[in-house]
Amino acid sequence: MDAALLLNVEGIKKTILHGGTGELPNFITGARVTFHFRTLKCDEERTVIDDSKQVGHPMHIIIGNMFKLEVWEILLTSMRVSEVAEFWCDTIHTGVYPILSRSLRQMAEGKDPTEWHVHTCGLANMFAYHTLGYEDLDELQKEPQPLIFVIELLQVEAPSQYQRETWNLSKDEKMQAVPILHGEGNRLFKLGRYEEASTKYQEAIVCLRNLQTKEKPWEVQWLKLEKMINTLILNYCQCLLKKGEYYEVLEHTSDILRHLPGIAKAYYLRARAHAEVWNEAEAKADLEKVLELEPSMRKVVRRELRLLENRLEEKREEERLRCRNMLG
């Protein structure tokens, strides 16, 4: 075992346990780094907090992508492929580890973490937690302490060597991807491929939500992104209508209208969903609101009201026949 090495970074000591191969990899922005890690306390027992090998799959981070635990990028970029090293990290580098650990554990258990993705920067939320749901992490959060990370570097891939998901694109790349995803969703919708279209809209929404976390709520840029998000959510709702997911449409459109009650398309889509689940009064009220906001949609509204009346009459006729059959 080599002697401890200092990385010219305050509060970090490195000990190489197993030498790597080749030269130091080219850790360029956008490179994907794959590694196993084990996190230990600095107590006499070296208590294990997390171990990716026990979970059964390695960890990935993207260089330069504001990963939640920034110190890991510092550690990894000091390593060669196949190297195993132990890093002692002081409290200044480990304070957010409980939040990261919670997200990783939840995903390993098949649950959704509270953030969009563990790579999403949402550290402002860390103080809102009363409990993380794990006693050892609650203890770490209440009393931050130095931690030991044992890391095995498995692979470093340049951006061109792997398929990049939307969450690991840069800010500029996300903004460029949104209109492409939007247009692709529209194309697929016109072709009747509603499941694929909804996936494209969702990817675009995730891009924008991620960008929105970097902005101050309710300021100009945040509101601009919110408007783009709502447009995509309503397109997504059109897919849901085609797939018969009416209650999800009601949920999404109602959420938009709670914050922005002047969007005619949201009322229109909600009216159609209400009609499909036999909420006659609510459907008519939403269609009246559409007319109030967009008088030019009079023909569309009249058509929807006729369809609603026809469906209600058919339903009433079916009920009358059922009653007759029961009496007969």
Per-residue pLDDT of 280-324, as tens digits, reads 899 999 999 999 999 999 999 999 999 888 888 887 777 778 787
Q: What pLDDT was estimated at residue 107?
A: 77
> Which residues does 75 contact at the CB level (< 8 Å), separation at least 6?
7, 12, 14, 85, 87, 89, 149, 151
Q: Name the pLDDT band for 129 (thresholds 50, 70, 90).
A: very low
Q: Name the pLDDT band for 39 (thresholds 50, 70, 90).
A: very high
List, for residues 144-198, the tens digit of each pLDDT value.
999 999 999 999 998 877 766 666 677 787 888 899 899 999 999 999 999 999 9
Q: What pLDDT was estimated at residue 197?
A: 94
Q: What pLDDT was estimated at residue 290?
A: 95
Tokens representing 119?
Answer: 């790579």
* pTM of full prediction above 0.75: no
φ and ψ of 63, to 5 deg: -65, 135
More confident residue, 40 or 168: 40
List, for residues 74-117, the tens digit of each pLDDT value.
999 999 999 999 999 999 999 889 988 988 888 777 764 433 33
Strand partners, 16: 85
Mean pLDDT for the chain overall: 86
| Interatomic CA distance for residues 251 and 270, integer angstroms | 9
Please, are residues 67 and 119 in contact by the beta-carbon 8 Å criterion? yes
Average pLDDT of span 133-154: 93
Q: What pLDDT was estimated at residue 96?
A: 87
More confident residue, 25 or 65: 25
Query: What single DSSP character describes residue 170?
Result: -
Q: What pLDDT was estimated at residue 124?
A: 38
Q: What pLDDT was estimated at residue 117?
A: 36
Q: Is 37 left (phi over 0), alpha (psi -120 to 50) or beta?
A: beta
Please, are residues 223 and 189 in contact by the beta-carbon 8 Å criterion? no
Average pLDDT of span 49-69: 85
Q: Is 147 left (phi over 0), alpha (psi -120 to 50) or beta?
A: beta
CA 168 to each of CA 118, 159, 208, 223: distance values in angstroms, whole numbers, following the listed order: 11, 10, 13, 23
CA 112 to each of CA 150, 152, 276: distance values in angstroms, whole numbers, following the listed order: 26, 27, 30
Please, are residues 108 and 65 in contact by the beta-carbon 8 Å criterion? no
Residue 241 amino acid letter: L
| Interatomic CA distance for residues 5 and 214, integer angstroms | 35
Average pLDDT of span 24-41: 93
Tally of CA atoms within 13 A in the half-sphere of 166 that contains its CB:
22
What percent helix, strand, coil does the chain show, rounded to 5? 55, 15, 30
Strand partners, 39: 50, 149
Average pLDDT of span 28-55: 94
Grouping H, G, I as helix, E, B as strand and the rest as coil, residue 315 is helix
Q: What pLDDT was estimated at residue 174?
A: 83
Which residue segments constitute the domains of the chain, with CATH numbers given?
5-157 (3.10.50.40), 171-294 (1.25.40.10)
**pLDDT value at 266 more than 60:** yes
Please, are residues 87 and 12 in contact by the beta-carbon 8 Å criterion? yes
